[in-house]
Structure 1
Amino acid sequence: MLKYLNLALLIVFPIAWFAPLMRAGINLPLFGLREVSVISGLQALWDTDVILALLVTFFAVFAPIMKVLGLALIQFGMMRRKMLPIFNILGKLAMADIFLIALYIVIVKGVGMAKIETGWGLYLFTACILTSIAISFATGKRQRA
């Protein structure tokens, strides 16, 4: 069951990347809010700060997918179980992206010039990361038993 739940993340992660993390805009009644997703945020970031864009791309896209694929290889017996701690670290690195998004929301809300509303994609992305960490933990427990 864990194997298939892990593989389902290969479908759910891309949905979370395109889902609206937040709606942002100027705090004036005539201006609408623009939806920001992981992908649209990365596109904007590539135009302004390439190094930060590389870091966020690694944390948000590559780390979670590498972890899911690596864990799947372990679960299907195609990779040694000694690699599990490395994939656990990748899952924790993916949580850094959630932290960056939350920090951004808190900072912008604190300034008061802009309006930020969290979107359902933030919760979906967070759930994907936490599910991946839980699957990894359960797989590690199962391997020891």
Structure 2
Amino acid sequence: MSKLFRYLNLALLIAFPIAWFAPLMRAGINLPLFGLKEVSVISGLQALWDTDVVLALLVTFFAVFAPIMKVLGLALIQFGMMRRKMLPVFNILGKLAMADIFLIALYIVLVKGIGLAKIETGWGLYLFTACVITSIALSITTAKRQKA
């Protein structure tokens, strides 16, 4: 069973980049003739770098670096290359990635409430959420297995 958890964790190294390029949402002006533009983590970051560098740095850390550092750190622990004392640090990184999902959901709710724009959630939001939740679940499972 522990091999399954190791490989599932390593699979996140493939799933996270797919989630970054997948459409999180389709957004556009709430008028009949205008189409919806797909927004992904990467396209959102590209737009942020042009307008707000500090926010772009924060989102890049939360959405890209934190999840990958967590997966790699957890893999090092699972394969016995790092002490499990580091597990709480990687758990925090996973929770920081969850903050990104919360912000995306909050933006969707706000824009839909205003009614000036149309937003539809994309499959990438569900994939990104599943990756983060899987990563958090794997770290909890690894912590329990390490104690036993």
User: So what's the TM-score if we normalise by structure 2?
Assistant: 0.97
Query: 1:41 is matched by which residue type in structure 2?
Result: G
Shift of 1:87: 0.2
Identity %: 88
Q: How many residues align?
A: 145
Letter in 2 for 1:105: I
Aligned counterpart, 1:76: 79
1:46 aligns with 2:85: no
Structure 1 residue aligned with 2:104? 101
Q: In structure 2, list runs of 5 or more residues that go unmatched.
A: none
Aligned twin of 1:26: 29
Alpha-carbon distance between aligned partners in 2 of 1:28 and 1:93, rounded to the nearest angstrom = 36
How far 1:106 sits from its partner (Å)?
0.8
Q: Match of 1:31, SS?
A: coil
Partner Cα distance (2:102, 2:37) in 1: 21
Please state whether the residue corresponding to 1:23 is helix, strand or coil. strand
Deviation at 1:94?
0.4
Q: Which of 92, 95, 109 does residue 89 from structure 1 map onto?
A: 92
Query: Which residue number in structure 2 is paired with residue 60 of structure 1?
Result: 63
Which residue number corresponds to residue 143 of structure 2? 140
Runs of 4+ in 1 over 6 A off after TM superposition: none
- 1:93 deviates by 0.4
Shift of 1:58: 0.3
Answering whether residue 43 of structure 2 is matched by residue 2 of structure 1, we say no
Shift of 1:134: 0.3
Counterpart residue identity of residue 103, structure 1:
L
Describe how 1:121-132 pairs up with structure 2 within 5 A: 121-132=124-135
| Counterpart Cα distance in 1 of 2:55 and 2:102 | 14
CA RMSD in angstroms comes to 0.4
